[in-house]
Amino acid sequence: MPMEDNPNPLPFPRIGLSQGDFNGISYELMLKAFSDARMFETLTPVLYGQSKAFSYYKKNFGMESPNYSLTRDARQAWDKKFNIINIVENELKIEPGVPSSLSAEMSVLSMKRAADDLRNGIIDALVMAPDSPLVAQSNRDFLLSFHKDSDPLQILVNGQMRIALATSDMPLRAAIDQIDVPYLVGKLTTLSQALKTDFDISSPKIAVMGINPHSGSKPMGDDEKVVKAIADAQDNGLFAFGPFSASQLFTAGWWKKYDAVLALHYEQGVFPMKFLSSDGYAYYWAGLPVVCSAPLHGPAYDIANQNKALPDSYRKAVFLAADVVCHRREQ
């Protein structure tokens, strides 16, 4: 419903956008996503980047929209417009397809400006654009450094499923060593609470994956601690079930019976999310007092500036951030 038709309107969620690596596909994703005027019907975007880079790629792709408005303060951002805060005023060398020290420096500066506004409540959420792996990790660490008392949990989301990652993108042996009963109970607790507050699911049901083959029929070894964690979570009032093997959940379609899946290591969750997604996929950090999301892919230097990038996952990340903000407002 448009704001003017609502007798008691809440302001549109103000969504900050980091620029990512401007030599990759980040600006192409933003241009394509926000060329659809419907993007402005429920949220207000604010890019912490460079208007000259925005204009450069817009001209290269021959795009007439979106137009942008410059602002120095996200609190003064215009609704129904694409807003840009110039993080530097000088001319920058753009080299599509070539990661550079300059593009990395500007990505970090963009992230710091946006994260600072997020922490101070000036923007309602932050969407991170694709970056090179090292810069992306640095930017994530910077964001999480403000919330060391929180228990962040990465949740992957597409149009149908939610898969949480109990561990980050680390070697498999390190992930298994990190998992113990209290750790898993904590992740299940964070996931259950996120499903309630961020997705408005009153009694969420969670499927927990196992570690070893056939974990659903005959748990063994490391799966015994998974079984114990599920039992402890149930004793705490959580609706957790399993452990399940990947073939049970995803080949047989059992995941559809649950509101979310808890994967125990990175590839175990990322592969089915990507394989079963047709309309883009993104992730956000549950368990934080702030809302931060991102598309689940990199800067794609190999197709930069070629008008080949698909904006589906970036658009999903933007809407995911806005939806979580709105659900939290309703609590």
267 with 170, same domain? yes
Q: What is the mean pLDDT of residues 10-16?
A: 91
Q: What is the pTM of this model?
A: 0.92
22 with 171, same domain? no
179 with 214, same domain? yes
168 with 79, same domain? no
Residues 121 and 75: their CA atoms lie apart, in Å, by: 10
Nearest to 266 by CA among 180, 178, 140, 158: 178
Residues 264 and 261: their CA atoms lie apart, in Å, by: 10
Six-digit token pair at 115?
Answer: 């994260």
For the cut 60, the answer to whether the pLDDT of residue 180 exceeds it is: yes
For the cut 60, the answer to whether the pLDDT of residue 322 exceeds it is: yes
Sorting pLDDT into bands at 50, 70 and 90, what band is 159?
confident
pLDDT at 238: 98
For the chain, what is the domain count? 2
Of all helices (H) and strands (E), which one includes residue 243? strand 239-244
pLDDT at 214: 64
122 with 188, same domain? no
**CA Rg value for the chain:** 20
pLDDT at 215: 64
pLDDT at 6: 43
1 with 141, same domain? yes
175 with 82, same domain? no
Q: Which of these three, 262, 283, 304, is where a domain ends?
A: 283
156 with 227, same domain? yes
Cβ-based burial of 10 (10 A; exposed 0-12, middle 13-18, buried ≥19): exposed
Of 31-40, 113-122, 133-142, the least confident: 133-142
Q: What is the CATH number of the domain that holds 271?
A: 3.40.718.10
For the cut 90, the answer to whether the pLDDT of residue 36 exceeds it is: yes
249 with 297, same domain? no
CA angle 227, 232, 238 (to 5 degrees): 105
For residue 168, the enclosing domain spans: 151-283
**191-223 tens-digit pLDDT:** 999 999 999 999 999 999 998 776 666 666 778
214 with 241, same domain? yes
210 with 162, same domain? yes
* Cα torsion angle, 263, 265, 267, 270, sign: positive
Residues 197 and 288: their CA atoms lie apart, in Å, by: 12
157 with 296, same domain? no
**51-108 tens-digit pLDDT:** 999 999 999 999 998 999 999 999 999 999 999 999 998 888 999 999 999 999 999 9
